[in-house]
Amino acid sequence: MSEPAGRHREDKVANTSVVAGANVVAGADVDAGTNVVTGADMATGTNTATGESTTHSPDFSKIRLDFPVLAREVNGRPLVYLDSAASSQMSAQVAERIDHYHRYEHANVHRGIHSLSQEATDAFEQTRDRVQHFLGAANRSEIIFTSGTTDSINLVAHSYGGSTLRPGDEILLTQMEHHANIVPWQMIAERTGAKILVADVDEHGNLDLDDLRTKLSNRTKIVALVHVSNALGTVNPVQTIIRMAREQGAIVLLDGAQSAPHQPVNVQELDCDFYAFSAHKVCGPTGFGILYGKKELLEAMPPYRGGGEMISRVSFEGTTYEEPPFRFEAGTPPIAAAIGLGAAIEYLQSIGMEQIALRERELLEEATKKLVAVDGLRIIGNPAERSAVLPFVMDGIHASDIGTLLDKQGIAVRTGHHCAQPIHDRYGLDATARASFAFYNSSEDIDRLVEGLEFVKTFF
């Protein structure tokens, strides 16, 4: 009798491949094994070692066509989407791959003996391989599937932190953290008796490394910080910080929700202990995310949740647990979302993360130059290095009013505290408007934003 499908089969079936570059009609059927190549003007070579496209000059005007939502109108005006820091848009290729799973491959994964289950398992586990290469992880067992960055941080806080922290131990955070990288640590500190310290941010939006160094000590057990700030766009010098933490014997968790979508990331080169990001910020589906953890740390951590899939054997006398990654993946997973993330990563790599970073840097520089010329507008912070985020305020106009009036013109920006109240408190603000960019944005989008802001001024 043949063996039931296991965790990961090496004899993978052909899976739909998605390559960026032109429009794919939503709703079209995709046959299994079909390569959905959509960019005639785009080189199709791929580095098989890294998955990165060998294209040197992608045509972003054609790539923009891969996102059908960008062709719609909002309030009678063509949509300008400048809220990718909250959630990026999904390409037609990724949507097609998810649809293909639902139409032709839907079955539960792992252990199923029938062909449909084996095909679903192959597609599901292929995503783990893709994420491993996307992050430069040493081992596929270091890639944990979660429901998002928030879930990933909670897993580390409650499993690693809950099992290692003792009264008097210290957790070091920064003023620019998202609430998802504050609240879980507050919860675990209260439970364990550990203490939270916070490194300051200067008036420009840079992390104060002298203050951070002063607050690091042999009592510091965990340093948890954002790689790129969602509120300011600050790109933190994480390699320097990781080296400083190592000198005190602390482990480091990086919140990568805003770095994974915008720049190449190699966790081995960074030497971080944990790294988390969300699928919906890298052109994938909502409700799914990734936790990278060093193998030796994951193996020593107790499960975060209990149930099916994460066990080796169960009896009423006791239970033995699976090895990572499955130890941390209790219950039936969001299979379609996992497959969607795999397709999204393939899509991004077909463009090239270096090319994406370069494109977004150009957009950020152009937007910064044009927005500072708007009378009465003030961009918050001027960090040494900034990602594709511009937070701003306007004299005498509340952020929510800015957002409302821009929406009337078909322009989508985010307003509020962006789940980062402490950094807003640092600048004495209750809210900002935030324009955030992605590689599918254009110079025309920036001009429409400036035009919209001029209208906001005249309205008030």
pLDDT of residue 16: 58
Structure tokens at 442: 């254009």
Residue 419 is among the residues annotated as catalytic for this protein: yes
Q: Where are the domains of the chain?
A: 122-348, 353-459
Q: Which of 69, 209, 374, 419 is catalytic?
A: 419
- Beta-strand runs (E) in 35-150: 35-37, 73-74, 77-78, 80-81, 143-146
**With respect to CATH, is domain 353-459 assigned 3.90.1150.10?**
yes
What residue has token string 């054609």? 62
pLDDT of residue 112: 84
CA distance 336 to 147: 13
Q: Please state, as a whole number, how many other Cβ atoms lie within 10 Å of the Cβ of residue 76.
A: 8
Q: pLDDT below 50 — which residues of the chain?
A: 1-6, 8-14, 22-50, 53-55
Q: How far is CA 208 from CA 81, 130, 213, 299, in A?
A: 33, 35, 9, 34
pLDDT of residue 212: 98
Largest CA distance in the chain: 77
What residue has token string 């919209």? 452
CA atoms lying within 13 Å on the CB side of residue 74: 15
* pTM of structure: 0.90
Name the architecture of domain 122-348. Answer: 3-Layer(aba) Sandwich (3.40)
**In terms of Cα–Cα distance, which of 7, 74, 3 is closest to 326?**
7
CA distance 375 to 160: 50
Average pLDDT, the chain: 90
Cis before 325 (ω within 30): yes
Ramachandran quadrant class, 285 (left: phi over 0; alpha: psi -120 to 50; beta: rest): beta
Give SS3 for 360: helix
DSSP string, 308-320: SSSEEEEETTEEE
What tens digit of pLDDT does each residue of 305-323 get? 888 888 888 889 888 888 8
pLDDT of residue 56: 63
